[in-house]
Each structure stands twice: as C-alpha cells, then as structure tokens.
Amino acid sequence: MSFNNLETLYRQVIMDHYKNPRNRGALQGDALTVDMNNPTCGDRIQLQMQIEDGVVKDAKFEGEGCSISMSSASMMTQAIKGKKIAEALEMSKVFSEMMLGEEVDSNTDLGDAQALSGVSQFPARIKCATLAWKAMEKGVNDK
C-alpha cells in the first residue's frame, strides 16, 4: 500500500471516530472519574472507568475538542476495555512514544489508535492526541 493510500485510510479512521465516537457518554454506578483539559487549545475530557480486579471493565468519555482529541479518546476507550491495568499503562507508554516519533514495540496492539501515528509530525497537536491517554494514566495511578 502506498504512503498516500495509507495516509487516506488513517484520515478516514480518525474522522470515523470523530463523527461516530465509540464509548461516548457516562457510566452508571461507581466509576473512577478523571477530568483533564489542554489549556493551549481548549480540549477537555471527562474519562470514566469501571475497574474490577485490576481489569478495565468499561470506559466512557465526555468532552469537547478537536477531531484529533476526540478521536483519540474514542480509540483509547475501545483499546483499553478488557485490559489489565498494567496492559493499559503499557499501551499508553507505547502511544506516547509513537507521538514522539520514537520506534515503538510492535507487540503492543494499539488498535485504531495506530492511525494517529502521523500526529507526531505536528508537535502542536501531540497534546491533543495524548489527552485521553494521560487522563487514563492519571486515573489508574491515583487509584
């Protein structure tokens, strides 16, 4: 697949998550809640997670922001569901490395979040892409 075709596919995946976000809304019952924002651009997110026996049973988000920020939140909530906390944190580490343009561990499946790899070429947008992931890290580390 050529670079242009791959870039087009990635854009389509990002826009699909933006226009049709997965896991948008609020969790019912007891949930770990984290509010974060990116003051440089105004993106904000409220992430909720239900964690049982060290596993992310469910995750949802609400918020406002650019297509990168909201797509990333959608992708992240999909990716971490059913994962052990250690696995979710490893995914976040790999995602952050990818955003910095570093070589990443190919054994870690980021799901659709892989489509955000091109954001690394736009330093001003990296905080948009990592906002939801940082919220997840803060939530599980503060727990």
User: Taking the C-alpha atoms of 69, 114, 50 and 16 in order, what is their torsion angle to the nearest 10 degrees?
Assistant: 60
pTM of this prediction exceeds 0.85: yes
The 3-state DSSP class for residue 66 equals coil
pLDDT value at 120 more than 70: yes
- Residue 132 is predicted with a pLDDT of 98
pLDDT, tens only, 44-79: 999 999 999 999 999 999 999 999 999 999 999 999
For the chain, what is the mean pLDDT?
92
Kindly list the domain boundaries of the chain, sorted by start residue. Answer: 3-142
pLDDT value at 13 more than 60: yes
Please give the Cα distance from 72 to 126 (Å, whole number).
Answer: 11
- Residue 70 is predicted with a pLDDT of 97
The class (CATH top level) of 3-142 is alpha beta
pLDDT value at 101 more than 60: yes
- Residue 108 is predicted with a pLDDT of 87
- The residues near 117 (Cβ < 8 Å, ≥ 6 apart) are 10, 98
Nearest to 109 by CA among 80, 68, 138: 80
Nearest to 131 by CA among 30, 36, 10: 36
Pull the structure tokens for residue 124. 């001003």
- Residue 104 is predicted with a pLDDT of 82
pLDDT value at 84 more than 90: yes
For the chain, give the percent of residues with pLDDT over 70: 95
